[in-house]
A and B are shown apart, each in its own frame.
Chain A
Amino acid sequence: MRWATRAGVHIDRAACAWLIRRHLDPDAEFVFVDDPAEVPADATAFDMRGVELGHHGGQCSFETILGRYELDDPVLWKLAELVHEADLDDERFDAPEARGLDVALRALSMIVADPRVLELSGPLFDGLYEYHRRALLLGREPA
């Protein structure tokens, strides 16, 4: 399936792309556009104005996708808090590492193109998932 989002990928879009590929569509193909009008007819748009999989009710797109596809894995919702704070910084959740994650993704997007940002950030989200999975099982931060 094809998925489209805005070019110049930052935290929310990188996390959404990871979520889509890992939990919704292993063969996902991503298209990056500068204007909503450029979204191909056969593509599902995400993290763009005026689309279903965007920001809604104060939630970031990652949270919207989790809700829309009824992904109720608590580890994913923990990652959602991180992405929410990194993207919106509205202090709804306590996620002090979010600021660092936002900077890391912004820094990455300055030196490589969007497809490469997804390639490089994918393993980071895999690792964060594992970290928070262990944290949830242990009930404290894993070593």
Chain B
Amino acid sequence: MADADERRTVGRWVLLAYRLPREPSTPRITVWRKLERLGVARLGDGLVALPADARTREQIDWLAEEIVEAGGVATVWLATPGSAAQERAIAATMRAARAAEYQTLIEQARAALHGAAVERARTGRRLRGELRRIARRDFFPPAERDAARAAVDALTAAATTAGAATAPRATTLQEERA
């Protein structure tokens, strides 16, 4: 029974094993940034993983191509973790990495709440974009995701109602005059 459960919960992953020349450093940095953007789990030196789906497989494929074009070596693998516990551990590190990103965003949203309306609106828009970028690499959503969404919503709501709040007040004044 436990075995059956374990098999059901282990998913398919896409792995990229790669090696890039030490010099020039530009392609190394480009690849590193792209991997960060994809939210990969780093399994070891030159070995990264993502849960496999059409999008991640394609992204990893193109990145492998780019590494080869930069004079490196890259192979792409489809794999299943040897145990559910192992997969949970990898998922936990990925979840923690996203949680930290959401936390930074929550702090920025809270700090901006006390700013001027224009500043709140601007920060709200920027953080909404950032939230979307984090969500795209968030394969195992932590509790912080909803909190981050709520914090950005609160910020944009504060920014829009600050402008709208003057309208009913004006009506009241007119009614009082009448």
CA distance A57 to B62 in the complex (A): 11
Chain A neighbourhood of B136, CB < 8 A: 89
Q: What separation, in Å, do the CA atoms of A58 and B54 have in the docked complex?
A: 20
**In the complex, what residue of chain B is closest to A102 when comparing beta carbons?**
B55
Interface status of B153 (Cβ within 8 A of chain A): no
The reply on B87 being an interface residue by CB < 8 A is: no
Stretch at the interface among A48-56, A77-85, A119-127, A132-140: A48-56
Within 8 A of B (CB), among A8-48: 8, 10
Once the chains are docked, how many angstroms separate the CA of A129 from the CA of B80?
44
- Interface residues contributed by chain B, number (CB under 8 Å): 11
Structural contact, A55 and B54, CB atoms closer than 8 A:
no
Q: For the complex, what is the distance from the CA of A65 to the CA of B69, rounded to whole Å?
A: 18
- B66 in the interface, Cβ–Cβ < 8 Å? yes
Contact indicator B66/A58 (Cβ below 8 Å): yes
* Listed residue (A8, A49, A50, A58) with the most chain B CB atoms within 10 angstroms of its CB: A49
Please provide the chain A residues from 60 to 109 with a CB less than 8 Å away from any CB of chain B in the complex: 89-90
Interface of B (DSSP majority class): helix
Q: Are B69 and A49 in contact (CB under 8 A)?
A: no
Q: How far is the CA of A10 from the CA of B66 in the complex (A)?
A: 20
Interface of A is mostly: loop
Identify which of residues 52-79 in chain B touch chain A, using a CB-to-CB cut-off of 8 Å: 54, 58, 61-62, 64-66, 69
Select which of B30, B54, B61 is within 8 A of A49 by beta carbon.
Answer: B61
Q: Name which residue of chain B comes closest to A60, CB basis.
A: B62
A49 to B66, CA, bound (A): 10
CB distance from A8 to the nearest CB of B (A): 6
- Chain A residues whose CB sits within 8 angstroms of the CB of B37 once the complex forms: 90
Which residues of the partner chain A approach B30 to less than 8 Å between Cβ atoms? 58
Q: Which of A8, A54, A90 contacts B65 (CB 8 A)?
A: A54
- Within the assembled complex, what's the spacing in Å between the Cα atoms of A49 and B75? 12
A89 to chain B, nearest CB (A): 8
Contact with A along B9-45 (1 / 0, CB 8 A): 0000000000000000000001000000100000000
Residue of B nearest to A96 (CB): B129
Q: Given the complex of chains A and B, what is the CA–CA distance between A130 and B61 in angstroms?
A: 33
Contact with A along B69-96 (1 / 0, CB 8 A): 1000000000000000000000000000
19 sampled A-B residue pairs with Cβ under 8 A: A8-B54, A10-B54, A10-B58, A49-B61, A49-B62, A49-B64, A49-B65, A50-B65, A54-B62, A54-B65, A55-B62, A55-B65, A55-B66, A56-B69, A57-B69, A58-B30, A58-B66, A89-B136, A90-B37
Give A residues with C-beta under 8 Å from B.
Answer: 8, 10, 49-50, 54-58, 89-90
Which 7 pairs, one residue from A and one from B, show the smallest C-beta to C-beta distance?
A55-B62, A49-B65, A49-B61, A8-B54, A55-B65, A54-B65, A56-B69
